Amino acid sequence: MFRIMFAVTAAACSVGLAAAGQTAPAGAGRAAPDGAALYAARCADCHGADATGVRGPDLTRLWGAGATDERVFQLIRQGVAGSIMPASTAPDSEIRALVAYLKALGTADGRDPARGSAAPGEATFWRSCGGCHRVGPRGGRLGPDLTRIGVTQSADALRTAIRRASAAIVPGYQSVTLVTTSGAKVRGLRKGEDAFSVQILDTRERLQGYLKAELTSVTRDTQSLMPDYGPDRLSDAALDDLVKYLSMLKGQK
């Protein structure tokens, strides 16, 4: 490990010398600095060899939490005042290599998890999702309010919530099926229950109370009331756009 780091440092020096003596455009024809080696030498002590955090925070979820390349670049350049996170005077090319390294670590496929375009994502949202979800003053009430979803959920968690809604059901949104003594089935979200009655929000957003004496069964559904949006209903590109839009919802009025 030490030997590798030494070699990189030597390479970085020769790049610096070459740069001083030439007028070629920045970056032309030079070996790019190795982000992994720079990370191991300068950041791993505090952020952990795998970047999941030791004395400093986990750096593998920055993009998932909505960070941009520029923001991470500035964090590394300027450090965090009032903390042990140091500022850096390294050349831009080295900081860019660190940013690229962290970005690739944070996403299994090395792509930005919040890739996509917000405008078409917003259009998809109001076409397919707004009937059940609110953003600001608009939308339905069957599903959770998503006005601040970009703060509370990573882009990857949003992908799972959309592709496989039933994989994890948000507390308070358990779907139940009631069967009445006359044989009718009613599906809705369980909003309250005691020994004698159960209250549900039905799929038309009406809060309905049923006496248990009038029901033959109350079953907790394993399926969410929210449909799964598989690739047949929502292409990967449309999902990217939708997640981009949702990632930007941070509670503005």
Write out the residues near ligand HEC by the rule CB under 6 A.
42-43, 45-47, 55-57, 59, 62, 72, 75-76, 80, 83-86, 88, 98, 128-129, 131-133, 142-144, 149, 153, 158, 161-162, 165, 169-170, 173, 224-226, 229, 242
Smallest distance, Å, CB 248 to ligand HEC? 13
Q: Are 136 and 147 in contact (CB under 8 A)?
A: yes
Smallest distance, Å, CB 253 to ligand HEC? 19
- Measure the CA dihedral 141/147/130/204, to 10°: 0
Among positive and negative, which fits the CA dihedral 83, 248, 129, 202? Answer: positive
Smallest distance, Å, CB 25 to ligand HEC? 26
Which residue, among 217, 214, 211, 209, has the nearest Cα to 181 in the 3D structure?
214
Nearer to ligand HEC, 157 or 212 (CB): 157
Nearer to ligand HEC, 142 or 178 (CB): 142
Smallest distance, Å, CB 54 to ligand HEC? 9
Task: Say if strands 175-180 and 215-220 run parallel, antiparallel, or are unpaired.
Answer: antiparallel
Which residue, among 16, 32, 15, has the nearest Cα to 97 in the 3D structure?
32
Nearer to ligand HEC, 100 or 215 (CB): 100
Nearer to ligand HEC, 46 or 212 (CB): 46
Task: Say if strands 197-202 and 207-211 run parallel, antiparallel, or are unpaired.
Answer: antiparallel
Q: Are 163 and 236 in contact (CB under 8 A)?
A: no
Nearer to ligand HEC, 216 or 230 (CB): 230
Smallest distance, Å, CB 48 to ligand HEC? 10
Structure tokens at 238: 């449309």
Nearer to ligand HEC, 162 or 198 (CB): 162
Nearer to ligand HEC, 24 or 233 (CB): 233
Smallest distance, Å, CB 121 to ligand HEC? 9
Q: Are 88 and 33 in contact (CB under 8 A)?
A: no
Round to whole Å and give the CA distance between 247 and 148. 9
Q: Residue for token digits 């010398």?
A: 17
Smallest distance, Å, CB 80 to ligand HEC? 4
If DSSP codes are grouped into helix, strand and coil, which group holds residue 134? strand
